[in-house]
Amino acid sequence: MNTLASLNLVKSLENSASETPNSQPVYALISVHGDPTAEIGKEGAGGQNVYVRELGLALAKRGCQVDMFTRREYPDQEEIVELAPGCRTIRLNAGPAKFITRNDLFEYLPEFVEAWLNFQQRTGRSYTLIHTNYWLSAWVGLELKSRLGLPQVHTYHSIGAVKYRNMENPPQISAIRNCVERAILEQADYVISTSPQEAEDLRQLISQHGRIKVIPCGINTEHFGSVSKEVARQQLGIASDSQIILYVGRFDPRKGVETLVRACANLPSAFQLYLVGGCREDGADFKEQQRIESLVNDLGLEAVTVFTGRISQALLPTYYAAGDICVVPSYYEPFGLVAIEAMAARTPVIASNVGGLQHTVVHGETGFLVPPRDSKALAIAIHSLLQNPTLKESYGNAAQNWVQSRFSTQGVAARVHELYQSLTLDTFIQEIIKTKKLTPDLERQIQNLLKSKV
Ligand code: UDP
């Protein structure tokens, strides 16, 4: 059989796959520590929770069934929450029903796997593919893949080898994390990297093997662009001529809030600094917030600094729109949703020249990129933008257009869905090859075609 004939065969297999009765795909998104329905902005709840939720909702809009699995963190949490038709959060019991930091969750993963299998058996739900998020879920996914043979896609959200690169005392769990992060790259059917930088880090620091596809994170650009600056300032009681510098995110030392506060202490003109993000009083980010509060006091900035606490996703567009600039001063940032959320609200971004930020912020067009941990360079960049309203406005307009064209949830979800479909088709064809006993030559040609497909 020639290549054209093989192509036709693959096409007809595609057709028969889509005509299989009950063939509506059912996807399992697994996010052990990032509940997609959690309050965002508190300890442990950040970009990953948003990524999973937005992807789940967008896939459901495309007609897929999506179950998003996470760990129950409080005894009174419901097991199943329906977010939209076709999209549910499912909370499994694994370990005590209380908040547990990521570094202490590994021992409960076997329980998570059992709970997942029980759920599947109890409900008779048959999953087409699993998409795991962060290394803890990667371990769960590899276990399920080996038992059920399901195709698996993985998104890292953060890479241990990068995060701990310059750390003197990395946590004990980091050795296990590194092993799992290597295994998942080599064994998953596909890894989704949210930025070209992450893909490069994976190749350089983790493994040369395994398939990687770069698909960025997406956001609801309409939601974040829904408020004008005038309305936002009226609602928040901010004078129209105030210069507002905005930070949004968790209080975690790697977010670089310290560098931002030190940069603000060097600014020659008047401004207000809004630090948006919340924390639990018993959590690690509370310590970081207290540290930042004392730094603000030591540098004499308390009169111009506002700690807003956690702000809901519903109200965040108002804060983004009220800002003159949004600063993302991270030391390490695999993607950085905050940067694209701010740009969607037409607010230019000044970000550290690291990780995913290098690919979301266009230096000299939608804002500036500055070296990380360099408060002087950051102060110069902030000052130059605050002092130039025309530049600020043109960067803001360009930022909004850029984000709408590249990072909308629907566009991103379409690319992820395409990847899922090609993998489920692969699995379906492999099944046919197994059961139909094709000639070795035909089988080889089909395998070659499949390899070149995605
Ligand atoms: N966020 C929020 N409320 C807050 C602070 C942050 O909803 O008070 C959200 C923010 O909108 C963004 C997420 O938390 O979607 C942070 O994601 P990012 O990728 O920037 O950082 P991560 O927390 O994943 O490190």
CA 383 from chain centre, in angstroms, equals 30
Q: Do the Cβ atoms of 73 and 97 come closer than 8 Å?
A: yes
Q: Which H or E element spans position 152?
A: strand 152-155
Mean pLDDT of the chain: 91
Residue 225 has pLDDT above 90, yes or no: yes
Residue 454 has pLDDT above 60, yes or no: no
pLDDT in tens, 421-451: 999 887 777 777 777 777 777 777 777 777 6
Walk me through the domains of the chain, giving residue ranges and CATH numbers.
3-218+409-453 (3.40.50.2000), 222-406 (3.40.50.2000)
- Tell me which residue has its CA closest to atom 10 in ligand 1: 338
Ligand 1: distance of its center to the CA of 338 in Å?
Answer: 6
The C-alpha atoms of residue 211 and residue 190 are separated, in whole angstroms, by 5
Q: Is the CB of 276 under 6 A from ligand 1?
A: yes
The C-alpha atoms of residue 317 and residue 330 are separated, in whole angstroms, by 21
Give the mean pLDDT of 125-147: 97
Give the mean pLDDT of 45-52: 89
Band (pLDDT 50/70/90 cuts) for residue 214 is: very high
Cα–Cα distances in angstroms (integers) from residue 362 to residues 52, 157, 188, 330, 395, in the given order: 26, 22, 32, 16, 9
pLDDT at 55: 96
Q: Which residues pair with 91 in a beta bridge?
A: 70
Q: Which residues pair with 24 in a beta bridge?
A: none
The C-alpha atoms of residue 231 and residue 318 are separated, in whole angstroms, by 8
Ligand 1: distance of its center to the CA of 332 in Å?
Answer: 15
Residue 18 has pLDDT above 80, yes or no: no
Nearest to 367 by CA among 335, 400, 321: 400
The C-alpha atoms of residue 414 and residue 420 are separated, in whole angstroms, by 10
Ligand 1: distance of its center to the CA of 337 in Å?
Answer: 7
pLDDT at 443: 78
DSSP string, 58-85: HHHHTT-EEEEEEE--STT--SEEEEET
The C-alpha atoms of residue 285 and residue 332 are separated, in whole angstroms, by 16
Q: Is the CB of 277 under 6 A from ligand 1?
A: yes
Band (pLDDT 50/70/90 cuts) for residue 44 is: low
The C-alpha atoms of residue 369 and residue 357 are separated, in whole angstroms, by 8
pLDDT at 360: 97
Higher pLDDT among residues 380 and 41, named by residue:
380
DSSP state at residue 268: S
pLDDT in tens, 308-327: 998 999 999 999 999 999 99
ipTM of this complex prediction, to 2 decimal places = 0.99
pLDDT at 13: 53
pLDDT in tens, 341-392: 999 999 999 999 999 999 999 999 999 999 999 999 999 999 999 999 999 9
Nearest to 357 by CA among 229, 275, 256, 206: 256
